[in-house]
Amino acid sequence: MGFMTGWLDKFKKGLRKTQETLTAPLRKLISAFRTLDENTLAELEAILIGADVGVEATQKILEHLRAAYKKGEIATADQLLNFLKADLRVRLSDQGNELRRASSGPTVILVAGVNGVGKTTSIAKLAALFRKEGGKVILAASDTFRAAAVEQLNLWSERLGVDIVKHRQGADPAAVVFDAADAAVARQADYLIVDTAGRLQTKENLMKELGKIRAVLARKIPGAPHEVLLVLDATTGQNAISQAQHFSAAVSVTGLFLAKLDGTAKGGIVIAIKDKLHVPVKFVGIGETPDDIARFNADEFVEALFAE
């Protein structure tokens, strides 16, 4: 996927706070680069870890850097900058960042995430993006256990002008999904976005509920769900990783929606999460409005990360 108009600017906007903790110190280090001695490596390590790139990912980057330096591939500041950019691009894109789509019929996206990460707003952003691109969207309000969850999603559906399938609060989530899948096929929707419970009494309950929803979708629509997106709050840093591990045990996550990237000075968390979970980032939220969303593109993200 090539560069997309306006999205590089969106990434720059979203990474504004990260500029202070990662970009500015990195540029300062690179501009003063003379030789890749232990002092330079220690400084680089401190900058990366300080921006939440994570200890393990940082060590891998430094090992790769040492090897390239020994081979004589890095001798100037420009070469160091280009090496870091190339390294991060590969790390962030090696599994592909494109949304998985249905070969025919509606593309079904199951959205998971603990309460408070911005899941409902993220669903609204996805719906707004798909609608803007000309797609027909239906929402399934299957987070029926949380007070106000159905109401919040209903408000977004009215605001965005997209259809919603909902039952009363406390209804069986799988029954909501059953009706929503029928509606998506009958109304020839391009996308069915399914909200799911953020937390139940136990992990077993959550796994059971998500399993039932997946089974219903698979019966009704071939290959569904085509994408299981986990919404993570970028401002929680390393805590987002433990949340993701919890959900990955309950449901097979295929992509990440990183919300509130504009609210953190530690945008390096994108790299740490990808390294730890081996799940690609597909979307990022970079503001409060429904339009503040970008499809994740490693080239654009890295360019924005190092932008002056």
Q: Do the Cβ atoms of 101 and 83 come closer than 8 Å?
A: no
Q: Is 161 helix (H, G, I), strand (E, B) or coil?
A: coil
List, as one string, the DSSP characters of 180-222: HHHHHHHTT-SEEEEE--S--SSHHHHHHHHHHHHHHHHHHST
Mean pLDDT value across residues 292-297: 91
* pLDDT category of residue 3 using cuts at 50, 70 and 90: very low
Mean pLDDT value across residues 217-221: 96
d(CA 50, CA 56): 13
Q: Is 64 helix (H, G, I), strand (E, B) or coil?
A: helix
Q: Is 120 helix (H, G, I), strand (E, B) or coil?
A: helix
- Give the DSSP letter of residue 145: S
Angle between helices 38-50 and 55-70 (to 10 degrees): 150
10-19, 158-167, 206-215: least confident range = 10-19
13-27, 116-130, 273-287: which is most confident = 116-130
What is the pLDDT, as a whole number, of residue 7?
Answer: 63
Mean pLDDT value across residues 58-64: 95
Helix (H) or strand (E) holding 301: helix 298-305
- Give the DSSP letter of residue 259: E
pTM: predicted TM-score of the whole model, two decimal places: 0.90
* pLDDT category of residue 6 using cuts at 50, 70 and 90: low
d(CA 207, CA 44): 41
- Residue 278, judged by CB atoms within 10 A of its CB (0-12, 13-18, 19+), counts as exposed
Give the closest residue to 173 by CA, choosing from 138, 202, 201, 215. 215
CB-CB neighbours of 193 under 10 Å: 28
pLDDT at 62 over 90: yes
